Each structure stands twice: as structure tokens, then as C-alpha cells.
Amino acid sequence: MRIKSEHRHSVSVIDTVNKMGKKKKKKAVGIDQETEEMLRHVMVRRRKELSIRGGGPTGIGNPLREVIARRKIGRLLQSQELDQLWTEAVEPQIAKQTKVVSLRNRVLMINVSDSVLISELANFHKQQILKTIQQKRPDIEIKNIKFKLNAGLKKK
């Protein structure tokens, strides 16, 4: 609903200063009693509509903080569980030369100390290791294993 402002307005002139320091005259429009009542009525109606729809827009900060906090709660525990699971799934000799880095988007990231071992794991052992991990812990969803060379990784 558009409010017509053609009649019953009092107009006054206000001196303002613009960015250049020059004085500028600006008209200030006052509203009459009838228009003010109409505006009040519109605002009350809009507040009622917002309360029916759930109170209008809300900030995203608090829910986002809650999600982040929930996702970080189990990470340390999950990391230790993944280390243990990896050690059980591979041979002791391989476990000594590898380290679990992370589990993101259902992909297990493993650091490996040697490029030859990466090739062997990726080409010959990957599917068997993945199958073993999925059998031991079906609750931890792992769809793939990726190996990354970390020459600084010392043998245990």
C-alpha cells in the first residue's frame, strides 16, 4: 500500500553542509496525523505477519557456531580410533612407515614415508585395506583411501 503525500504536509527548510563544505538547503517533510496513523497500522500488521511466520529473519551466527562445535567434539577421539584401526588393518611393517592424517568427506588420508610404498599400497593393497576397515568399523563411513608422500615421516 502506497501512502499519498500530496496534501496536509508541513514543509520546512533545513541548512545542511555537503562533503565540499558548501551549505545546501534541504526540505524536511513532516507528516500529518492521518498519515502517521496509517503508518502505525501498517507497522502493526507487518509485525503480526512476522510473528506468524516465525519472527522474521534471524542471525546465522549462533546455529553455525553450534554446528562447528558439534563437528569438532569427536575429532580427537576419532583420530585415535582411526590410528588404531589403520594399525590393525595393515601389516606391522606398513604401519611403521605410515600415519593417518585425516578423514574428510569419507576419504581416509594417509601419509607414507616412501614413494615405492605408496605405489604398492595404492595398486595392490588399497581395496583389501578398505574392505578390512569397513568390516571392522561399519559405523565409520570410509569410501576411499588416498596416500600422500611425506618424506619427513620417520619410521616408527
Instruction: Tell me how far the alpha carbon of residue 126 is from its chain's centroid.
Output: 31
Residue 3 lies inside a defined structural domain of this protein: no
Give the structural domain span for 102.
Answer: 74-149
SS3 24: strand
pLDDT for the residue numbered 1: 46
Count CB neighbours of 137 within 10 A. 16
- Model-wide pTM > 0.85: no
Residue 111 lies inside a defined structural domain of this protein: yes
pLDDT per residue rounded down to tens, the chain (156 residues): 444 444 444 444 444 555 555 555 544 456 788 888 888 888 888 888 877 776 666 677 777 777 766 665 556 557 888 899 999 999 999 999 999 998 888 899 999 999 999 999 999 999 999 999 999 988 888 899 999 999 888 765
Residue 97 bridge partners (DSSP): none
Instruction: Tell me how far the alpha carbon of residue 129 is from its chain's centroid.
Output: 32
Residue 19 lies inside a defined structural domain of this protein: no
Please state, in angstroms and rounded to a whole number, the distance separating the CA atoms of residues 76 and 22.
64
Residue 15 lies inside a defined structural domain of this protein: no
Q: What are phi and psi of 153, to 5 degrees?
A: -70, 120
CATH of residue 142's domain is: 3.30.300.180
Please state, in angstroms and rounded to a whole number, the distance separating the CA atoms of residues 97 and 116.
11
Residue showing cell 600422500: 148
Residue 43 lies inside a defined structural domain of this protein: no
Indicate the number of domains in the chain. Answer: 1
